[in-house]
Structure 1
Amino acid sequence: MRHAPRGDAAGRVQRLQEAAVTSSGATSSGAGPSNAGSSRASSGTAHPPTDYTRAPGENDWITMTPVDPTDPTASIGSLVKDATTHISTLVRSEIELAKLELTASAKQALRGSIFFAAAAAIGLFSLWFFWLMIGEILNIWLPRWAAFVIVFGAMLAMAAGLVFLGIRRMKRIGKPEMTISQAQATAEALKNAAARAESSGSSASAE
């Protein structure tokens, strides 16, 4: 007898085959495939091929020929299983491709951010020379100490302005009203459900 096909169809046919063999060994009336074949041979009917088996209590012979996944006569279950396998493989491949592309993009972004950080550091240190230049220019008309006092006051005024703008932006941040209302509604629903369950239990115990 040929090997049973793989997959769910193979397991189903294998179980039917084992059940048929068990039934033929347990019964003494000759209801198994071998006795059926001998009775058919004695009556002039050809015995079914050896790659066929029959389920107990059924008259249909079930083929044991392996199912070709590309066979148009394959079962719907086999086709669906193959399609699901191919789709999952395709999805995993696309996920791996996306990971590779994102990794490469992240590396490029990291390299670019290094240049931005270096530019920011250089710009920050250059501000000191800028204010020094302003002080030296004012020193043309004013004493040196007065020139740098003016520079220092200008820097403090700019810092105070930035702090004021930051405070205004922070005040615009409101409470998560939707989240709070949703949480309150959920808590109220849970309380009502608990109260209904308690009242139902009390009425049931009273009955």
Structure 2
Amino acid sequence: MSSPGPEERAATTGLGELLSGVTRDLSTLFRQEVELAKAELTESAKQAGKGAGMFGGAAVAGLFALLFLTITIWWAIGYAIGNAWSALIITVVYAIVAAILFARGRAKLKTVRGAPRTVDSLKKIPETVKPGGTR
């Protein structure tokens, strides 16, 4: 004996039972999609973590390269004018670079606006739909 087809089930099943089945199926689909998203995001986060670790290692190596380049320049200038004066020159150069980077960074931070479109759209949500709103 074969199971009834969709038309037969629709004719013999009540509307409440059909809606219950649809709701159950949508709930199952939603849970499965959330689980898939979690799995994908976990994998992406692992890859991002590895990439961030590589960037961190590159930053440390770059810092050491800059340190030894600075020492090399300090000693090279030191042969011409003395180590104390060459160290002062290197310090002033780094202070100028730091001041320029600070000023540019500060200017960039002043242009950050946050999420103005999101704030605007959230203001349009009626009070009845907001959590804790009156119904």
TM-score (norm 1): 0.46
RMSD: 3.0
Work out the percentage of aligned pairs sharing the same amino acid: 33
Report the Cα distance in structure 2 between the residues aligned to 1:72 and 1:173, rounded to whole angstroms. Answer: 56
Alignment partner, residue 77 of structure 1:
16
* TM-score, normalization by structure 2: 0.66
Number of residue pairs aligned between Structure 1 and Structure 2: 112
Judging changes above 3 Å, is the alpha-carbon distance between structure 1 residues 168 and 94 closer, same or farther for their aligned structure 2 residues?
A: closer
Q: Distance in 1 between matches of 2:22 and 2:112?
A: 51
Q: Answer yes or no: is the 8 Å Cα contact 1:69–1:78 preserved in 2.
A: no
Aligned-partner Cα distance in 1 for 2:18–2:31 = 20
Given residue 128 of structure 1, which amino acid in structure 2 is its aligned partner? L
Q: Which residue of 2 aligns with 1:102?
A: 41
The whole-number CA distance in structure 2 between the counterparts of 1:72 and 1:172 is 59
How much does 1:138 deviate? Answer: 1.6
Greater RCO between the two (CA within 8 Å, min separation 6)?
1
Residue identity in the other structure for 1:142: I
Residue of structure 1 in register with 2:87 after alignment: 148
CA distance change for structure 1 residues 171 and 111 in 2, over 3 Å: closer, same or farther? closer
The unaligned stretches of length 5 or more in structure 1 are 1-67, 184-207
Q: Could you tell me how far 1:101 is from its partner in structure 2?
A: 1.1
How far residue 155 of structure 1 moved from its aligned partner, in angstroms, is 1.3
Determine the C-alpha separation between the residues in 1 that align with 2:24 and 2:5.
12
Q: Mind listing any 5+ residue stretches in structure 2 that lack a counterpart? A: 124-135
Bigger radius of gyration: 1
Bigger Cα displacement from structure 2, 122-131 vs 135-144:
135-144
Say which structure is richer in helix: 2
Correspondence for 2:131: none
